[in-house]
A and B are shown apart, each in its own frame.
Chain A
Amino acid sequence: MRLATLAALAACATLAQAQDTAREIQRYRQMIAEGSPAELFELEGETLWKKPQGPKNVSLERCDLGEGAGVLKGAYVHLPRYFKDADRVMDLEARLLHCMTTLQGRSRAEATRRVFGSADRPSEFESLSAYIAAQSRGVKIQPGMSHPKEKASYELGRALYFQRVGAWDFSCASCHGEEGKRIRMQELPVLYKPESARPVIATWPAYRVSTSQFITLQWRMNDCYRQMRTPEPTFASETTVALIHFLTATARGETYRGPGNKR
């Protein structure tokens, strides 16, 4: 009889331990969020926004992120959206690249030589994303959903979410498909459900404590596809923008409170 009780005790100990584990991980996340170096990247982003660059030696201050030339307030949370001048749907990083090539006259090759930075040297897109996203704090997330190309981008994003590809047959839903699932200790939000997508999209882009890097949604798409064992998605391509569009639209209505803080 004793053995059975011991086993039972061990079993419920593991169960209790599992719940404690989840609760403690939540506390860990909450504590690191309180002290985030993300603000340091916002400072760096402001410098870059105002810094004349490229053959035309012009800053990005006249870049139209959708709310009018140079308007930052609320710009991030209204992306992705359709831009007539480029005749396509763009997220923040695609739009920044557009302004770098048009306003500043930089070549696409030069501007995208280093789209993802390192702890020692963040990329321009990372610092700029920190600064611009911060200008949307407190504004409700509402990407473009009315233009036919916006609807098509959203539908493409949804289909991509469930497309099983790569050497390991994964889709986004393989990991982000069922409530309460974890990879290692990392909880996996079911991102096609509004209630799960809202807290996530409201806190991206973010400072990642484990690598001391500031990471953007373009990086997130890139790194997820790397782990799905597919070839590499081109930076700011229609695929990446459509996925970001689907996730942002799923989170619409939430008040933006980033840049955030990730493990």
Chain B
Amino acid sequence: MAAGPMKMRAVLGQGYTDIRVLMNHPMETGQRKDADGKLVPMHFIQNLAVKVNGKTVVDAQISQAVSRNPVFSFRLKGGAKGDKVEVSWLDNHGESNSTEAAVA
């Protein structure tokens, strides 16, 4: 698939904003063998950040223990329609991606 597409939904709930973000990433543990028996090298997202209107509110460190094609949900205190929410990731190969959405 394209270099790790991401999809995010930010919806105003009761008293908090519900953020759900999907990201395409193999999250390889380094222990999996490919079709012809070769070990696939470690390749996983290490850092994940959620920013609201430019300010980091969630700063996460994750590992190869997170499932492939990760799906995360977070909750922001309050929040208002139109707030700009951005989620970005950085993996152990130095690759990164980010996506943003306005709170619906």
Contacts and interface: CB of A to CB of B under 8 A. Distances in A.
Instruction: Please determine if A and B sit in direct contact within the complex, based on CB atoms under 8 angstroms apart.
Output: yes
A40 B26 contact: no
B7 A44 contact: no
B42 to A, nearest CB: 15
B67 interface: yes
B5 A43 contact: yes
A37 B5 contact: no
A135 to B, nearest CB: 16
B60 to A, nearest CB: 16
B24 interface: yes
A37 B10 CA distance: 16
A40 B20 contact: no
Interface stretch (A72-80, A114-122, A225-233): A114-122
B98 to A, nearest CB: 15
Contacts of A40: 1, 5, 7, 22-24, 69
Nearest to B9: A39
Interface residues of B, number: 15
A209 interface: yes
Q: Is the interface of A mostly helix, strand, loop or mixed?
A: loop
Contacts, number: 36
Contacts of B2: 44, 47
B53 interface: no
Nearest to A36: B71
Interface string A26-43: 000000000111011001
A122 B2 CA distance: 11
A112 interface: no
A212 interface: yes
Contact of B22 (A39, A121, A127): A39
Contact of B7 (A43, A209, A212): A43
A121 B24 CA distance: 11
Interface in B3-18: 5, 7
Interface string B52-83: 00000000000000011101110000000000
Interface of A: 35-37, 39-40, 43-44, 47, 119-122, 127, 209, 212
